[in-house]
Amino acid sequence: MPITDILERNCKLYGNDICLVEINPEIKETRRVTWKEYELMEPNPVTHYRREITWSVFNEKANRFANMLIQRGIKKGDKVAVLLMNCLEWLPIYFGILKTGALAVPLNFRYAPDEIEYCLNLAEADVLVFGPEFIGRVEEIAESISKNRLLFFVGDNCPSFAEDYISLTANCSSQSPMIALTDADDAAIYFSSGTTGFPKAILHNHESLMHSCKVEQNHHSQTKQDVFLCIPPLYHTGAKMHWFGSFLEGSRAVLLKGTKPEFILDAVSKEKCTIVWLLVPWAQDILDAIDRGEVRLADYELSQWRLMHIGAQPVPQSLIQRWKKVFPHHQYDTNYGLSESIGPGCVHLGVENIHKVGAIGKAGYGWQVKIVDENGAQVTRGAVGELAVKGPGVMTCYYNDEQATNEVLRDGWLFTGDMAQEDEDGFIFLVDRKKDVVISGGENIYPVQIEDFLRTNNKVKDAAVIGIPDKRLGEITAAIIEIKEGMNCTEEEINGYCMKLPKYKRPRQVIFADIPRNPTGKIEKPKLRKMYGGESLVAVQNKS
């Protein structure tokens, strides 16, 4: 059944129960700024505040937005892009889009103006819904993107180039628009990128979304009494699809803005959270803050916290060993997935397999996995090959990109581009990534984009960007730079030049050296990783 039916059911069964809580201990200014200014801004502490809504209000807001979209001409099969920071409005807007039969198109909040425009065009979006944090960025492209689409603003002081979401939805019907939907209907487009750095539009149907609900609930046994703490951004499949387990059970979720250890522990304590999904840096920060005496566990009520799970990047075994010493009663789990497989869970460690920390696990609920050679034949156990997965959560296609689709989808199998091997007990370990994407703190960074930028410097002959292991972030970017003959250049010059890049794309380490290329002209990145310590974190762990 379509995932919107679950919202209708929750409204009927649990209408007066709180379903979503938003906590904002720290936010950035929302005055109109350019996206470059926004990147440089520091968070401003504000008075802690909290908002909440019930299942009834959630459903009502989704219906009002759906009916407003329909009044404005949006119909089944159209696309509505969402560019919002985590907030109470995010999920009702997402479900309102689905209720019209249109496709939800979440956008990464890190996108620069040109990336926003590129993705809107790639997905053929008919509407952009954006929040106050993005006024500056959207304003830079408003003239071009508003020619063929509607712009709706969610927040106070609506800019002149957009329409006000609040006033538009206020007088719309709170009843369901009753658009007929099936499992096979298209539901959402998410974005991913390959080694080129250009986003691909990943198309999923309602069956995919429903399967992610079932996978998450099966893996983590959510009940109506559980409370899920959601910190990662909702545009990402990981955050939303982990919440889907709570959604399926009608239980409560807390959206927390801010990742400081005291924010997380305070939210767990005050909101009685039982399940928390963390990225590696956040878990490390919590343990380090405890070790330094900056936070005291005795100050918080944490006895109800039963599960801590991590995803989006390799997990150091030493981290989980430390965690279990501090939180011995916690269950621990990790999940592997891609946006092409509707997020986490196609491979799953399992809370009962903590002795296998370092592995990503076995096939998740409803999934099949295999490891294959370059010809697509399954390799023998212990051999390294490409991981392929199959199940109801595999994407329909890369939208409007038949060639890219055919490269990764074969006979229903999704070829992930990740190299893996299976141990004697059937547990899968990632060995390295076939793609060169660097994952730093759970965020994908695409080396080609940075390399192309560095080559615009008139002193740079060639550049290569690799990921090197980092204790806190999993990986950081290192730029190997070959300087033109007869020229001198310093690390300070390169760092200053890179200030033109968004902060998360700036190389964290600069190395001046020759760039090795093979006979076909491709950069020999495996050689660079070996030279400069950039082997994958998992590979390093397996050797230790």
Whether residue 369 is found in the same domain as residue 491: no
| Cα gap 460→332, rounded to integer Å | 46
Residue type, 295: V
Task: For residue 292, tell me if it sits in a domain.
Answer: no
Print the SS3 string covering 270-328. HHCCCEEEECHHHHHHHHHHHHCCCCCHHHCCCCCCCEEEECCCCCCHHHHHHHHHHCC
Distances in whole angstroms, Cα of residue 244 to Cα of each of 7, 37, 99, 209 = 11, 35, 17, 9
Whether residue 51 is found in the same domain as residue 198: yes
| Cα gap 112→134, rounded to integer Å | 10
Whether residue 223 is found in the same domain as residue 334: no
Q: What is the pTM of this model?
A: 0.82
| Cα gap 92→83, rounded to integer Å | 14
Task: For residue 293, tell me if it sits in a domain.
Answer: no
Whether residue 311 is found in the same domain as residue 246: no
Whether residue 429 is found in the same domain as residue 442: no
Whether residue 24 is found in the same domain as residue 130: yes
Residue whose C-alpha is closest to residue 18's, from 77, 58, 61: 58
Domain of residue 221: give its range.
4-258
pLDDT in tens, 508-541: 999 999 988 754 446 788 788 888 874 433 333 3
Whether residue 447 is found in the same domain as residue 420: no
- Binning pLDDT at 50, 70 and 90, where does residue 70 land? very high
Task: For residue 287, tell me if it sits in a domain.
Answer: no
Domain at 354, CATH number:
2.30.38.10
Whether residue 385 is found in the same domain as residue 447: no
- Binning pLDDT at 50, 70 and 90, where does residue 184 land? very high
Task: For residue 62, tell me if it sits in a domain.
Answer: yes
Whether residue 139 is found in the same domain as residue 16: yes
What percent of the chain clears pLDDT 90, i.e. is strictly above it?
67
Residue whose C-alpha is closest to residue 68's, from 15, 112, 129, 25: 129
pLDDT in tens, 393-431: 999 999 999 999 999 999 999 999 888 899 999 999 887
User: How many domains does one find in the chain?
Assistant: 3
Whether residue 76 is found in the same domain as residue 161: yes
Whether residue 234 is found in the same domain as residue 325: no
